[in-house]
Amino acid sequence: MDKDGLWYRVLKAQYGEVGDRIREGGRNDSRWWRMICAVKEGRGAVDGSWFDTNIRRVVGDGHQTFIWTDNCLDGVPLNIRFSRLYELSVHKDCLVEEMARLGWEVGGNGWCGGVV
């Protein structure tokens, strides 16, 4: 985390710092902060919590988003939603950017053995 960044400074001012990390927990912390901390601990990510329903991911140019395994449509990755197509895919660990470069239109190499 960028310790000189605005969000870090805001969270540090609000919740304090322990060692070199923002302090977590505490009965008087906001519900929002408690839910953020719960996601880090693996809680709240599955039960339809506030965090999941109010956050979205922007793919942008696709250089940090895996086409098959990152949550996509209604929080379900494409490898689950289209499992048969995933089984047939040659590029299972492909980023969106790579798939676009290979060509995902009809006749593109993204669906066959083209080199990533």
Q: Name the residue ranges covered by the structural domains of the chain.
A: 6-54, 71-111
Given a cut of 80, whether residue 107 has pLDDT beyond it is no
**pLDDT over 90 for what percent of the chain?**
6
Lowest mean pLDDT among 5-9, 20-24, 41-45, 82-86: 41-45
Tokens (6 digits) for 104: 């995902």
Identity of residue 32: W
Q: Residue 16: pLDDT above 70?
A: yes
Is residue 116's pLDDT more than 50? Answer: no
Residue 115: partners with Cβ closer than 8 Å, 6 or more residues away: none
Q: Tell me: the pLDDT tens digits for 56-80?
A: 667 788 888 888 888 877 778 899 9
Whether the predicted pLDDT of 1 surpasses 50:
yes
* pLDDT score, position 43: 60
Contacts of 78 (CB under 8 A, 6+ apart): 67, 68, 69, 72, 85, 86
The confidence score (pLDDT) of residue 32 equals: 79
Distance CA 104, CA 112 (A): 10
